[in-house]
Chain A
Amino acid sequence: MNFIVSKRRPAQPSLPDHPAPATPGTGRGLGLGLPVIALLAVLLVSVVLAIGLGPATISPADTTRYLWAALTGGTLPAGDLTGYQIIWEVRTPRVLLAVVIGAGLSVVGVTVQALVRNALADPFVLGVSSGASVGAVTVIVTGALGAFGIHALSAGAFAGALAASALVYLASYSRAGLTPLRLVLTGTAMAYGFQAVMSVLVYLAPDGEATHTVLFWMLGGLGAATWGSLPTVAVIVAAGTFLLHRHARTLDAMALGDETAASLGVDTAALRRTLFVLTSLMTGAMVAVSGAIGFVGLVMPHLVRILVGARHSRVLVLAPLVGGIFMVWADLVARTLVAPRELPLGVITALVGVPVFITLMRRKGYVFGGR
């Protein structure tokens, strides 16, 4: 049995003497601490500046003074009342909502791209936004949900978003679970269906309000921000981001393919269900207050990956910060450029973001899903 012996002899594995990097993987392995602190600082400054800027510009010093008074319950001279009201009642909730929506759309974008394994996916690819529009328009046309008072529209949009998600889920579910391609195809097909329903509702509506609402939900905007609507969406986005981040390594594994993920101990079917539910809730909550603001959820994930690599444990921390900052400035431009009129926020996000993104993409030779 000589040949068996010869097989068992461990042949010298040839080790070409390449100059080995000191510690492999440090290229993008720098700690998260510094970038997070820097981005938080930029975010804070952006928020204060954006609150002060607008048709009635209020200096950063006054802005800080008003905000401080509001937060600590201090007193202000009577002459400051108008300024204070603009700052605290109008702009602050709006800018904070911009942070929440920018952060949330970016996080959901990252997750949905991993969930459906598609670089072109964004938070609305699963039909959520058109479902929300149908919900909102239904409320206007039928006067349903009167019990919710001024929040009836948002409640209708949220219900529509969740109903759309449930439909997409049921329609794309199969024995093999939620397969990525099926999800995208079902979501896209459903979106067309919802748009048709919406068109009919608008067509049959007796007044112009429905048309206006549809436009708002399709283009998105933060004009409806109030202190009342902010907490719910903020809590949902924050909790969702936290939960998604806990799945970061599993998301990495899933990016290697379902088979490989399974061999690494990931229950891909269960994971997809969890991700689907979390992202649907987050998107639904966001669309209900801001409509479908495009582009951010598609491009921020790529932008952050270009800068720090693909690992979800990093991307899911930095994307919300970068997205929040971006949205604050985009909204500032939207409401000041042709003041007192407002430009649709989605127009600004696209006009500003597309060139930035394409420049970055070309510079770094970024690749996603193939060469």
Chain B
Amino acid sequence: MILRLDALGVERNGRALVRDLSLEVGAGQIVGLVGPNGSGKSTALRCVYRALAPTTGAVLLHDRDLTALTRRESARRIAALTQEGGSELDFTVAEIVALGRAPHLRGNQALGAREQELCRRAMTQLDVLHLADRGVLTLSGGERQRVLAARALVQEPEVLVLDEPTNHLDIRHQIELLTLLRASGLTVVIVLHDLNLAAAVCDRIGVLAEGALVAAGTPREVLTARLVRAVFGIDATVVPHPLTGDPQLLYSLGAPA
């Protein structure tokens, strides 16, 4: 196991945001976290990229507690695409992407030739190279999201954590980003709202409700009409994807009262 959440618990103001969450992520696996709003998905992720210290339990990387590593050491192994929309200051796209090297460089040390190439490749992969000299504040939400994804790739992590990375992206870029994840060979933990995309991209899915893990397994095992009904409170018809066989959910709007 590369990454293991071990009985992870997070409390804030006496309220349990995440309760006794245990989850294993194998090398090269893509593990999805799904669940309704406020179910603790983002909170769990925040513990993985160390924006938050768990109240109980631990996040283990190669069986070592993350808190035993310095923050920079963790950041060299775990990169994150958070829900934050970019920047307060008008950096250029290339500057933002280059910041992904921050945990690898001392102080204000400049990027080497290999790192420049790395940035270039990441920008190419995410289709933002043509924006390299643009100010990031002039970009659309989706373009910015891709820039931030490129920044995370440049970090050369073992584990990539993504919190709703498809936000703001048009459908083509959603598919491209998820395809890129599959092709990258990275170990990925990803929060997705779109269950159909989750079924398509994830090797395993963990379902959270009120801070606790209520189901975990392959998309086929987890994404059933019964579970969707129980966790999300909606009726969905689950059909196999005609090409890939992944479970896909079809929704119908409730009848008007």
Contact = CB atoms under 8 A, between A and B. Distances in A.
11 contacts: A7-B200, A24-B93, A25-B132, A255-B91, A256-B84, A256-B87, A256-B148, A262-B49, A265-B72, A309-B92, A369-B88
Contacts of A11: 179, 182-183
A263 B50 contact: yes
A260 interface: yes
A19 interface: yes
A265 B88 contact: no
B88 A18 contact: no
B245 A259 contact: no
Given A252-B91, A256-B87, A369-B88, A16 B127 contact: yes
Nearest to A267: B71
Interface residues on A, range: 35 or more
Contacts of B15: none
Interface in B83-115: 83-96, 98-100, 102-103, 105, 107-108
B84 A25 contact: no
Interface string A112-126: 001001010000000
Contacts of A3: 241, 244-246
A75 B91 CA distance: 54
B195 interface: no
Contact of A10 (B74, B127, B182): B182
A362 to B, nearest CB: 15
A4 B202 CA distance: 10
B182 to A, nearest CB: 6
Contacts of B137: 367-371
B82 interface: yes
Contact of A117 (B88, B127, B179): B88
Contact of B99 (A23, A249, A370): A249
Interface string B75-87: 1101110111111
A16 B130 CA distance: 10
A311 B95 contact: yes
B193 interface: no
Interface of B: 46, 49-51, 70-76, 78-80, 82-96, 98-100, 102-103, 105, 107-108, 116, 119-120, 123-125, 127, 129-130, 132-133, 135, 137-138, 148, 152, 155, 161, 176, 179-180, 182-183, 200-201, 203, 241, 243-246
A305 interface: yes
Given A249-B105, A256-B99, A371-B137, A309 B132 contact: no
A212 interface: no
A305 B102 CA distance: 21
Contacts of B87: 255-257, 310
Given A246-B107, A265-B71, A259 B120 contact: no
A21 B91 contact: no
A6 interface: yes
A257 B102 contact: no
A21 B133 contact: yes
A305 B107 contact: no
B235 to A, nearest CB: 25
B161 A263 contact: yes
Given A25-B119, A257-B84, 14 more contacts: A15-B127, A19-B130, A20-B129, A21-B130, A24-B119, A28-B92, A252-B99, A255-B89, A262-B51, A263-B51, A264-B100, A309-B95, A310-B91, A368-B90
